[in-house]
Chains A and B, each alone.
Chain A
Amino acid sequence: MPKEAVRRKLGTGVLNRGDRLFFGITSAASYFAFILVALILVFLIAQAFPALKDQGLAFVYGSTWEVTPEKAVMQIGPMLYGSVLIALLGVLLATPMAIATAYLIVFILPKSPAKLATNLIDLLAALPSVIIGLWGVLVFTPIAQGWADFLHKNLGWIPLFATDKGTTSLNSSPFIAGWIVAVMIVPIITSVTREIFSQFDRELINGALALGATRWTVFRRVILPTASGGITGGVLLGLGRAIGETVAIYYVLQLSMKINFFQILEPRGGAIASWILSRFGEATEAEFHGLMAAGLVIFITTLVINLIANIIVNRAQPWRK
């Protein structure tokens, strides 16, 4: 008589008290990660609520920030837009550099220079943003200003490189802030790209080269198409980082509520996180809530970007599981 086999419950039985504690503590710690995210959200919402209720949707798109003891109009449109503009500029500058660096590390350089390059890039990621900011305003800005002058002089007829009448020195612009952000996100994009590139069989690619394929065709037709998904994820991670960047941008950018749509050389721009830092010192009670609301906007934006980025990166790197 064939009888149906009944599956037994496994992993049960009497667990040691020590093990119950062990798994209890580690699970609790893991759930705490959820609680932490939830707590951040709850506290920010609670503190942002008065401002959001007061200002309505215009908080996000309006472009006035006037706070007096009597009334407060708080709108972060130009700052939010500026953050996105700078982040996009940063990503645009950083992505080719990151792909090039990863390409050299994985496919071209011999082992020990490649290792050195990897370590240097990781060191760059570890540099505190306040140091990047100090360097950015004192060392880099004069250099980049030269580049900006060059661009304006030769390509000023393109609206992108045009400036307002009467603007003389091209510093403190989204262009410079974009470079600073690029410096900070190059390591992020490089390390994701490098991981993906290193999954290619180097011997195989050299074999293809030996058979007459050019490096360019291999890069264009094999490497880039396969890796593009993962690189996109890395770029998004960089974008998230760029939108949250505070101190470094604070030093190199002239924050202005007069929106600057695309004149990237004009010394006027926005960055929401830096705005919080700049207003925070003398904030009134009402403004305090407004700045919390701005923080909430950053948090939600970066959280969404990062979740999407991580899904893409994880999918592109199945070997990490």
Chain B
Amino acid sequence: MTISPVAAELRSEDVSVWFGERQVLKDVNLTFRANRVTALIGPSGCGKSTFLRTLNRMHELIPSAGLAGSILLDGKDIYDPSVNPVDVRMEIGMVFQKPNPFPTMSIRDNVLSGLKLSGLRVDNKDELLETSLKRASIWNEVKDRLGEPATALSGGQQQRLCIARSLAMNPKVLLMDEPCSALDPGSTRRIEATIEELSESMTIVIVTHNMQQAQRVSHETAFFLADENTPGGVVEFGSTEQVFGQPIDERTNDYVNGHFG
């Protein structure tokens, strides 16, 4: 794969997921359009986080994991036997629920860790460092303390550092798994603003439990639901305006209006 500077379209076709013999997702068909922010919403246990992890092959790190269907990045199947999962993860970045900077590294090393970890070489590291931190809107707060350990930062700053760390790899797609759930409202706002700016240069998929957040940041929304003892799936997928304003499915209506979940 070659790295293209522009955002890419990501598509799932008939994706089903298992843990052991238990099927947790069935026939998920979604298209994440380039430069768009798509929110995945739904009650706990509906499989949305699991689905997110299938999008950059993190899912298969769980020993009993199983999968059917395809994930296409600009039309190319990322699960093809000829594809190295490492390359996939370099193009499709991920930000986790809990901020997880590398505790043994400085702020600077954290941002540049992706390069070292994937064995990439870059001519101007300082420039990349600055750009990445600026894109994650944390540059001003850390520019004078780049040598300090990352653990010295606050939770919100750590999360933005983790975003900067992903951005330094210049991914086409950024997956975010409830990135604000562990943060205070101020930090949440800042990250949401960052997401909006980032969508200009990449495709973003964000899992969130927060309806307001989904409405604030996303262009499109997919509603996941799992009935008892049946695998989860997508109930409704459309523009965020439509899904929250005029949901077609009754269950979506109940959920977005806070009747359950």
Contact = CB atoms under 8 A, between A and B. Distances in A.
Q: Is chain B in direct contact with chain A in the complex (CB below 8 A)? A: yes
Given A5-B16, A7-B18, A13 B65 contact: no
Contacts of A13: 79-85
Interface residues of A, number: 12
B238 to A, nearest CB: 24
Contacts of A14: 81-84
Contacts, number: 39
A6 B68 contact: yes
Contacts of A15: 84
A11 interface: yes
Contacts of B85: 13
B69 interface: yes
Interface in A1-15: 5-15
Interface residues of B, number: 20
Given A5-B69, A6-B68, A16-B84, A11 B14 contact: no
Nearest to A14: B84
A5 B26 CA distance: 9
B192 interface: no
Nearest to B62: A10
Interface string A1-33: 000011111111111100000000000000000
A11 B60 contact: yes
A178 B172 CA distance: 70
A10 B67 contact: yes
A321 to B, nearest CB: 13
B68 A8 contact: yes
Contacts of A8: 66-69, 79
A5 B14 contact: yes
A60 to B, nearest CB: 45
Contacts of A12: 81
A12 B84 CA distance: 8
A41 to B, nearest CB: 31
Interface in B45-99: 59-60, 65-69, 79-86
B60 A5 contact: no
A83 B26 CA distance: 62
Contacts of B82: 13-14
Q: Which of A7, A9, A13, A16 neighbours the largest number of chain B CB atoms within 10 Å of its CB? A: A13
Interface of B: 14, 16, 18, 26-27, 59-60, 65-69, 79-86
Top 3 A-B residue pairs of the complex, sorted by shortest distance between their CB atoms:
A5-B68, A10-B60, A14-B84
Interface of A: 5-16
18 contacts: A5-B14, A5-B27, A7-B18, A7-B66, A7-B68, A8-B69, A8-B79, A9-B81, A10-B59, A10-B60, A10-B79, A13-B79, A14-B81, A14-B82, A14-B83, A14-B84, A16-B84, A16-B86
Given A5-B26, A8-B79, A13-B80, 5 more contacts: A5-B27, A5-B68, A6-B68, A8-B69, A11-B60
